[in-house]
Amino acid sequence: MTTTIQEVPMLIGKQWVHPTVAEFGSIFNPSRGQLIARVPLGGPADVDAAVQAAQKAFASWSVTPPTKRAGYMFKYRALLEEHFEELAKIVTLENGKTLDESRGDVRRGVEVVELACGIGELAKGESLPRVADQIDGVTMREPIGVCAGITPYNFPAMVPMWMFPIAIACGNTFILKPSEKVPLTANRLAELFLAAGFPEGVLNVVHGGRAVVDALCTHPGIVALSFVGSTKIAEHVYVLGTQHGKRVQAAGGAKNVMVVMPDAEPDSTLRAVMGAAFGCAGQRCMAGSILMGVGETASAVQKRVAEAIDALKVADTSADPSAQMGPVIDAPAKQRILSYLDLGQKEGAQLVRDGRKLPGSLPSEGYFVGPTLFDNVQPGSKLAADEIFGPVLSMMRPQNLQEALAWANRSPYGNGASIFTTSGRHAREFSLGIQCGMIGVNVGVPAPMALFSFSGWGRSFFGDLHVQGHEGVMFYTRQKVVLSRWDSEYRRTQGW
C-alpha cells in the first residue's frame, strides 16, 4: 500500500494535464484517515477546455457507424475485465468499501458497458411503409452533442459507467466530473478508455467542486447533463441546467422501506435486510434504511437483526479482506451520521445497537460508524424522514400492511421499497400500493440491472428519462422522422 501523495490530473482530449488552480481537495483512505492524493478543484476555464475538445471530437465521432462504435466498446469491456481486480482495489482504497462490495461496484459498471456494446440494436429506429398513399415513414435516433456527467462518491465505478458508455456509444462525446472525494477510480476508467483506442476528445475528465458543477450546467456547448447525488444538489443541477436549455436527468436521495410480513421466510429475509441496511456502510441511495416489522413478527425480527449486527465484522477494508463492513467516506460524514444517534434518542426511539461502540482493533483515525439499530421509530420523526446515508437502520412497527403502506407513502422520496412475504396477495398489494419506482419482492436492494432503467420517483429524481436501460439511450439521442414519397411508374407516365 503506497503512502505517496499523488496529484490527480484532468483529461482534456488525450492529454493528462495538471492545471494551475488555487485550491486542492484531499483524498483519504477512509479506513485509516490517511491522505493518499490531492485533486485540483478546477473552474470554468477547465470546463471550457474540455468542451472544446469534446466539440472537436463530436464532428467525426457522431458520424462513426454504430457498429464501429460498438467495436471500441468491446475492446473497452475486455480491458475492464483484464483490470477488474485492480479497479476494485482502487475503489476500496479511496471509498472504504469491502473488496467484495468494490467488485460489485465495478461489475455493475461493466454490465452497462456490455449494454452499450449492443448499441446497433438499441438505437435502431422504426419504419412503416405505406403510412399514407405512396408515402413511407422512417424514424431514426441521432446523437445530441456534448454531454456531461456529475457523479457521487458512493459508487466510484458504477455510476460514471451508468453514463458515459451509453452516451458515447450513441455517438455523443462526454465530460465526466467525478466526486472530488473519489477521483482515482474515474481516472483509471478513463486511462483504460484511451487504451481501448477511442479517438481523442470523446471522453474528458474535469475535477472540481461547485464551480465546475455550475459551469457544466451553464456552458452553452453542453446539451445534456446526467447527475447522481443528494436531492438538494440534484434539484439545483436540474433547475440550473434546464434554465440553460439542457436536457437533465438528476437522481437524488431516498428513504427506502423494507416491510417484513409475518409469513416471510426468516433466514433469507435476514440476509437481505442486513445487506440492504449495512452494505456499503449504508452509503447508497438504494439502502434499506427503514425496517417495518408488521404485527406479531416485529419483536422476532428486531431480535434477529440485533444478533446479526453483533456478528458483523467491521474492519479496515484496505488491509483485511474478511471485513464485512468498512468506514464511511470522511470525517464530516461520520460526524453527521453520529448526530442522528443523539437525535434519535432525543426523539424517544430505542437505541438497540449503538454504532459508537466499535472494536478496539480499528484504526483510531479511520472514519468508522458501527451498524446501528433503532426500534420504535415513529412516523414523522427525523429518523423516519431524513436520508441519513450511513449504517443506521430505523425500525417501525405497523399493525398491518395497510398501515405500513400509509407510513411509507408519507415520504417525499421515491426510489425503492421491498416486501418480504410468501403471499402473492401481499406482494401484489404492496407492489401496486407503494409510491416509488423500484420495488423488491423478497429482494433487499431492488436496484435494476443495466437492461432496465434506474427509475426513481418523487424527490428522488428530477427529469423525464432515467439513467441506463432503454431510457438512457433515449436520453442521449433525439428522434428524426423521415416521410418519403416515391410515385409509381404508372403515375409518372400519366403525368401525375
Known catalytic residues?
285
CA atoms within 13 Å, Cβ hemisphere of 472: 31
Q: Quick one: DSSP state of residue 296?
A: G
Q: DSSP string covering 377-415, please?
A: PPTTSHHHHS---SSEEEEE--SSHHHHHHHHTT-SEES
Query: Is 373 in contact with 352 (CB distance < 8 Å)?
Result: yes
10 Å CB burial of residue 449 (0-12, 13-18, 19+) is exposed
Closest CA to 9 of 201, 151, 168, 186: 186
Q: Phi and psi for 169 in degrees, rounded to 5?
A: -60, -30
Query: Is 260 in contact with 251 (CB distance < 8 Å)?
Result: no
Q: 40 has which bridge partners?
A: 24
10 Å CB burial of residue 156 (0-12, 13-18, 19+) is buried
- Rounded distance between C-alpha atoms, residue 391 and residue 385, angstroms: 15
Closest CA to 421 of 270, 269, 275: 269
Q: 479 has which bridge partners?
A: 141
Q: Phi and psi for 362 in degrees, rounded to 5?
A: -75, 145
Q: DSSP string covering 118-186, please?
A: THHHHT---EEEEEETTEEEEEEEEE-SEEEEE--SS-TTHHHHHHHHHHHHTT-EEEEE--TTSHHHH
**SS3 category, 112:** helix
Closest CA to 244 of 222, 228, 229, 259: 222
Q: Which three cell numbers stand for residue 414?
A: 421515491
Q: Phi and psi for 172 in degrees, rounded to 5?
A: -90, 170
- Location of C-alpha cell 452494505: 279
Query: Is 384 in contact with 322 (CB distance < 8 Å)?
Result: no
- Rounded distance between C-alpha atoms, residue 153 and residue 19, angstroms: 22
- Rounded distance between C-alpha atoms, residue 465 and residue 208, angstroms: 26
Query: Is 134 in contact with 483 (CB distance < 8 Å)?
Result: no
Q: Quick one: DSSP state of residue 208?
A: -
For the chain, what's the residue count?
A: 496
